[in-house]
Structures are given as structure tokens and as C-alpha cells.
Amino acid sequence: MVRFVTPLLLASLSVSAFAAQKCNSSSQCKEEKYPCCSQYGECGTGAYCLGGCDPLASFSLDSCAPMPVCESKTYTWENLDNAVTQDKYLGNASAADWTYSGKVKTEDGNLIMTMPAKSVGTLFANNHYVWYGKISGKFKSSRGKGVVTAFILLSDVKDEIDYEWVGADLTTVQTNYYWQGVLDWHNSGNITVDGEDTFNDWHTYEIDWTPEKVDWIVDGSVQRTLKKDDTYNETSKQYEFPQTPARLQMSLWPAGQASNAQGTIDWAGGEIDWNSEDIQDPGYYYATVGEVSVKCYDAPSDAKKTGDKAYIYANSAAMESDISITDNSTVLASLGATGLDMDLGADKSSSSSSSASNSIPTGSGGSGGMSGDNTSSDSGSGTSTTDGSETSTSGFTQGSPTQDSGAAGQNERVLRGSLFGVLVALVVLVTL
């Protein structure tokens, strides 16, 4: 069995001289001072310890903050009052349902995720974790070769269930799943979508996830089913089935950026046209999201339960039986705090109580990081500006700082929605 190792993506944009230690499941964070491995593969505190914090790559399993439990709720988009940028979120999912990076707005009761020219798009992530449930979203995908829209469930140990729309094919939605990030060439499946196309027509996409199976449902009709029994690995004696608490993430990202691997670009239908019709008017690629709902299912009957506020990992095997439900707090006192010391910085009474560059993961557009840091600087990175119903991150420069375009490299593709593009890229390399 091969475990997928999260790529080491981004250097800090902070004025701080701190250089984050890199981490993955075989090289954990080594310092208690910076114990949390973000989903971008760097060690830190604060937001590094919240959504996406990988307990298997962190200093210890309890370095990451406990995960807020599932909440059944329907989301509509009259405004963005229930969403905050990552530098403003400390783990209180009751105060903010969503965290986001990129430029988003609301329009006619819908959420608009945008990708301006040579940016790396938008990520919108729910702060409540789902441990089995039915997730529904009404979507109009983006369009254009190289442009990918995603609607996924992603756990902190890389269990994953996906819908992805490749803008070069507006008659199909791609589905996929992963267990602990392990690459498997046989997990994907395409669904043909009726109607004019996925950009102009509304369709409802659902993931019905139980301990026994996953159904992918389009416009009320089950189009694909994955049975847990069919994922059993005789060698490892394990079910390689998504089974750990996951966050709902919606994103728009540039798979066809010229600096990406050729396999990823080919999968996405070719290189992005940064002078396309949508870039000309309205000025960005965009995907439109209507009503989104989450219906939580009961936890497994044998789940360890001592409370009802948070999920935690009790064992590094990270299987369903290793999840406990507790009354642990999910809220950090400051951006200097961690799961090992949730109250650190409480006397400073502000999310900006830490100015270190390792308190907010540097952003990468499709997967939950914010660009910039939480310090004051000429660039304005990390501060939010609001103009009517539109909210953006000032100094939006997500992506590797080594790329002048600000767009994501191929290694970052994993964190944009699913692992499928990397699978395609590897297939291409193997066959060369």
C-alpha cells in the first residue's frame, strides 16, 4: 500500500523570518512550539491547527484542535454574514459556518465563486465536520478549458468524496473517492448530466454517505454507488472506504495553468485562456452556487461517545473506530494557540494576538489556505474588504510565490478539490 504524501507547497508571505518546518505522514512536526501540520504540509500554530490540520503528520494526535461536530442546516446566500476569512476564524463554528479564500460575492440569492485572470480561484469550506450524512448542492459550474469546479467532502486524514466539473466538458460531472489519500487508478467515474450544459443549467448534486456506502445523486437520481464491502483490502485487512469526519468544500481552481504538469493540463482540457469571454466580461471565471444543505446522520452505533461537541482522533490508524465524540472545546484563544494549549494567548483577546508567519497557512486557492498573514503590512495581506455583497481578501496572491502568475503548481493540485488530476499526471509519466 502506498500512502499519498501531501506536497510541500508554499513559503510564508509574512515579514517574519520564521521558516515553517515541512511535514507529512512520514515526517511529523518535531517541535511542540509549532506542532500542527496544515493541509499544505507545514508546521505551525493557530489556523494551522484548525480545518485541514493533519493529525497523522502533526507533533501528536492532539496537536490539532478538536473538530466541530456535524450540524444539519440549509444555507442560502442573501449575504456573507456566516462566512469569514481564515485570519478571523479561531474554531467557533457556531459563530461562522464557513471560512473562505479568494474573491466571492452574493448575487440574486446565490454565491458566486470567482477566479480572476492569473489568480488561483476560490475555496469555500464549511467549518462543521460531517461524519456521515447527506450533502446537497445546487450548482452551475464554471466553463472553459483548464477551469475546474469542485464540490467535495475532505477529511483531515485525506478521506475524500468528490464531484468535479471540468470546464472543457459541460455535459459531464466527474466523481471520485479516496481513503487516507492512497492513490488508486480505479476510483473515478463520470456521470452524464442532462440539459443544455452544466454552466447554463441548474442541477442538484448530492452525496449520500453512510457507514455502508456512498451514493452520488444527480437531480434526484442515483447515478453511482460505492459499497464499503467492495473496498476491502485482503493484504492490509482494512476497508479502504472514506470513514472519518470530513469538511464540505466548494472551490474553483486553474488546473490548466501553464506551469502545471502536462498530465493535469490534459485532464483539464488544455491550458486556460486568460483572455476568454468570461475574463473579458464579467472579468473572471465563475461558478454559481444555490442552496446547499447538510443532513447529519447518526454516528456509528459503536462510536466512543463522552459528549456531543467535537470529534477527535483517538488512534493513529485513523479508521472509523478511532474517532471519539467529546465535549472538548474546538475554539483556540488566539492564533498562537494549538490543540496542546487551547488557551494560549487568551489574555490578548484577539484573533490577531500572534504575528508569527506560522499562525495562518499561506493560501492556495482551492483548499482552504489564506493568502498573506495576519500582520499589518503595506501589502494589506490578510485584511478583508467589503463592498456591498462582495468580499475579498486584499492582496489576493494565493499560490506559490515562485510563480509570477500567482497560480498553483501541479503539486498544489491535490488540494484544489480532489487527487484525480495528480492520478492522471502520474499515469502520463508512467506511460512515457
The reply to whether 164 belongs to the active site is yes
Measured in whole angstroms, the distance separating CA 419 from the mean position of its chain's CA atoms is: 12
The reply to whether 160 belongs to the active site is yes
**Grid coordinates standing for 172?**
459531464
d(CA 147, CA 285) in angstroms, rounded, equals 8
Q: Give the HSE-up count for residue 221: Cα atoms under 13 Å, Cβ half-sphere.
A: 7
d(CA 68, CA 208) in angstroms, rounded, equals 20
d(CA 406, CA 396) in angstroms, rounded, equals 9
- Which one, of 31, 88, 36, lies nearest residue 65 by Cα? 36
**Grid coordinates standing for 111?**
454565491
Query: In this structure, what DSSP letter does residue 321 have?
Result: G
Dihedral (CA of 12, 267, 423, 316) sign: positive
Number of neighbours of residue 401 by Cβ within 10 angstroms: 14
List all residues 6 or more positions away from 81 whose beta carbon is below 8 Å from its beta carbon: none
Task: Specify whether the CB–CB gap between 362 and 8 falls below 8 A.
Answer: no
Find where cell 483531515 sits: 156
Catalytic residue, from 32, 42, 78, 160: name it.
160
282: cis peptide before it, omega within 30°?
A: yes
Catalytic residue numbers, as ranges? 160, 164
